Structure 1
Amino acid sequence: MTPRRRSYRYVGPAELAALAGPGREGRRIRSPAGLAGWAAERGPQECGEPFTFVVDTAGVLRLAPRRSEHVVCAGGEAVLSAGEMALRQVSGRWTVDGVSNQSTGYCPDTRSWPAVAEALEHAGIDHPGGFTHEVVFRRCPGCRQLAIVREEDFVCVFCEAPLPPQWNVDEE
C-alpha cells in the first residue's frame, strides 16, 4: 500500500482559481498511448516546449499546454505535485526530458517528487529519478509574502526576515 502523500492546496490569486471549471482541467495521462494521443492533438511547436502538469490527489498525471494555469489543470482541486515537464520519445518510449516543481499557484515542496515518479511509472513514462530543476518555496513569517529561496539564502526578499528551513507555504 502506498503511503498517504501530502497534498497542496491552491495558494495563488483568486481570479486565476475562478478560471477552473468542468471540462477545462488537464488531460489525465494513464498510459503511453494516452500520452501519444494527447501529444498528437498538440501542434509541433507546442510539443517542443514543456507542459504544465499536476498530479491529482488520486495520483494521476494531468497535462495541459504550458501557458495553462496549474489550478485550471487541476480542476481547482488540491494536488500532490505541480510544475512543468518536458517530454519526448526515445526509441519509441516516452521519457521525461526535464521536470520542475515550478508552480507559483501551488508552490509544492521539493519532497513532492515521489508522487510525480509514481504517476509517471503508472503511466509507463520513463523519468530522470528526481526534479531536474527544484524550486524552494517558503512563506515569510514576517510579511506573509510567498518567496522563492535562491542559492540556499533563506531570507525574505521583501522584508529581509529569515525564512523557515521547512516548507510552510499554505500555513495560515
Structure 2
Amino acid sequence: MRYRYTGPADIAARSRHHPAGTPAGSAADIRAWLAATDPRDRRDPFTYVITIDGVLLLAPRRSEHVACAAGADVLAAGEITFTPDGGVSAVTNQSTGYCPQPCCWPAVDAALNRAGIAHPGAFTSAFVFRHCTVCTHLNVIKDDVYVCAHCDTDLPPTLRKS
C-alpha cells in the first residue's frame, strides 16, 4: 500500500525548505550516519520513511516525515532506534502525517533485509490511525475503540481502498 501525506498543509509547506532524508542501504551507512549525528541524539528514535522504490531514508527525530520523504508518497514511515553497531533495536509506524497502518511492515522488513540490517522482525510498537469522517480529527485507535476522541462519531473499523 502506498501512503500519501495527509497531515497539515502548513507543515508540508515548511518542510519543503528542509533536506530530504539520508539513504541508508547498509549497516555501514547507518554507522556512518550515526557517527555524524549529535551524540546526545543517538539514544532517541530517528525519523524514517521507506520510499516507493523501497529505499530507507533517515532524518533526525524532530524532523517531519514529509520532509524526510521530500513530500513524496511512501510505503512506510515511523520512528526507528539503532544499536551501536547499526542494527535496529526498535521500529514503529508512528507517523501522524502519513498514518501508515501496521500492514506496512513488509516494506520496512524488505528495506532492512535488503540492506543487511539486523532488526526485531516486526514493529516493536504498532499504531492504527483513523481520520473522523465528520470532524476530520486524526485518531490513534486504542483498545479497539473506533470512536472519534473529538466528536464521538463512530470511526470506520477498516480503511477504504483508494
TM category, shorter: over 0.9
Say if 2:121 is the partner of 1:129: yes
Structure holding more strand per residue: 1
Secondary structure of 1:19's partner?
helix
Q: CA deviation at 1:107?
A: 0.5
Say if 2:98 is the partner of 1:103: no
Aligned ranges for residues 1-172 of structure 1 at < 5 Å?
Answer: 6-21=1-16, 24-89=19-84, 93-168=85-160
CA distance in 1: counterparts of 2:12 and 2:106, whole angstroms: 26
Q: CA deviation at 1:37?
A: 1.2
1:55-112 CA distance string (max 9 Å, x none): 01110000000000000000110110100011113xxx53211111111110101100
| Aligned residue type for 2:104 | S
* Unmatched segments (≥5 aa) in structure 2: none
Secondary structure of 1:94's partner?
coil
Length-normalised TM-score, structure 1: 0.88
Q: CA deviation at 1:22?
A: 7.5
RMSD after superposition? 1.7
| Aligned residue type for 1:45 | R
CA distance in 1: counterparts of 2:153 and 2:18, whole angstroms: 42
Moved over 6 A (4+): none
Give the total of aligned pairs. 162
Length-normalised TM-score, structure 2: 0.93
